[in-house]
Amino acid sequence: MSSTPKLSDEEKKARQREYRRRYQEKHPHRHRSRHVKSRYGITLEQRDGLLAAQGGVCAMCGADNPRKGGMDWSVDHCHDTGKVRGILCHPCNAGIGLLGHDKQLLSKAIQYLN
Ligand SMILES: [Zn+2]
């Protein structure tokens, strides 16, 4: 029998978070590459190709950088089909994401702002 005390679920989660944080710090490109591939089905190189095809700027606002310290470009995709729509800066991706990618709601937001 092991004398190692059993970790609580909270302690296990904290250890996993710390392990992930260290791994990401040690292998930033590898981590990002895996994330993009597993989440959006495209490689980091394909993502960069899409960005280049957009002229190296956000597909929505035209910003030439992701505009948040340490943040990378966002791969915008349809949540129903998974199809990649384009590459967005962080504010544009967050904005449409917070409004649930809902075209009617986004339209209402524009009406409200006018
Ligand atoms: Zn943008």
User: Which CATH number goes with the domain that contains 105?
Assistant: 3.40.1800.10
The answer to the question of residue 2 being in a domain is: no
The answer to the question of residue 71 being in a domain is: yes
What's the CA-to-centroid distance between 18 and ligand 1, angstroms? 32
Per-residue pLDDT tens digits for 100-111 = 999 999 999 999
What's the CA-to-centroid distance between 47 and ligand 1, angstroms? 16
Across 58-83, average pLDDT = 88
What's the CA-to-centroid distance between 17 and ligand 1, angstroms? 30
The two structure tokens encoding residue 104: 């009617």
Per-residue pLDDT tens digits for 4-40 = 678 899 999 999 888 877 877 776 667 777 777 888 8
pLDDT at residue 5, rounded to an integer? 76
Which string of b and e fits 89-101 if b means at least 16 CB within 10 Å? bbbbbeebeeeee
The answer to the question of residue 4 being in a domain is: no
Number of structural domains, the chain? Answer: 1
The answer to the question of residue 1 being in a domain is: no
What's the CA-to-centroid distance between 87 and ligand 1, angstroms? 9
Dist CA 105 CA 14 (whole Å): 37
Its domain, for residue 38, covers 9-113
